[in-house]
Amino acid sequence: MGSYDKQYLEIVEKIMNEGYKAENRTGVDTIKVPHVSMSFDLEEEFPILTTKKMGLRLLTEEMLWIYRDMSNDVTLLQEKNVHIWDEWMKEDGTIGTAYGWVVKEYDQINKLIHTLKTNPQDRRMMLNLYQLPHIEGGSLPPCAFLSMFDVTDGRLNCMLVQRSGDIPLGVPFNTSQYAILTYMLAQVTGLKPGRFTHIINNAHIYENQLEGMKEHLSRKGTDFPAPKLILNPDVKDFKDFKASDVTLIDYQHHPAIKMDVTV
């Protein structure tokens, strides 16, 4: 059995049982806990929830929009029927100086791939979306903002740091997205996927999501085996990856759970 559902639902239980009620900028209170983490061996399992259905295409398209396209143009996602960023779209159709814009501004993904190929023991390999000079120009400061990479014994390890984690909706997307990114980077640099660790500073559930999370918790212990992630082996250059190059084998899951996105 995979461990993602187990680790994830333990965090949900911790928030529901021990969480602190907090106000925030949205006007919808949260129940939160600080400093939670999950960790997985990507050679052993692909971390995706089976206790509810996850949209593999949607989360892959968003990740590629940020790192392959290095884009802030929300209309590019809308053309693919991906509406994750609609609520934050500015009048010019973008999210301003955020996410993919920052990746492109500092040529981050190309520099990372070059370093992985030429100096894999470098201790400065990271993608950092939280660039202070540009925070005010973006629609939303990045939540999952820092991914740091390490190569040990031919395995590519990734640590994702998230300043703010919407546990019901955002975090499951982010975990699977950055795991896919790690698989992709490993493939194009001749490495194997290694350990993936996800650290969340402020892990919270909005009050309008509590009923949905009670339903989710009722499925504890009924998870399915972790599916296997398969990438198109013909892709040798990161910029050539498409969402259709990512396939899950034997993905069994419970139904999706409808919950509100708090803006």
Instruction: Give catalytic residues, as residue numbers.
Output: 143
Question: b or e along 1-36 (b: 16 or more beta carbons within 10 Å of the residue's beta carbon)?
Answer: ebbbbebbbebbeebbeebeeeeeeeeeebbbbeeb
How would you class 107 by CB atoms within 10 Å of its CB: exposed for 0-12, middle for 13-18, buried for 19 or more? exposed
The answer to whether the CB of 149 falls within 8 A of the CB of 196 is no
In angstroms, rounded to a whole number, what is the distance separating the alpha carbons of residues 109 and 106? 9
State the CB neighbour count (10 A cutoff) for residue 83.
12
State the CB neighbour count (10 A cutoff) for residue 210.
15
In angstroms, rounded to a whole number, what is the distance separating the alpha carbons of residues 8 and 226? 14
- The total number of residues shown for the chain amounts to 263
In angstroms, rounded to a whole number, what is the distance separating the alpha carbons of residues 6 and 12? 10
In angstroms, rounded to a whole number, what is the distance separating the alpha carbons of residues 82 and 244? 14
Q: Which residue do the tokens 């013909």 mark?
A: 234
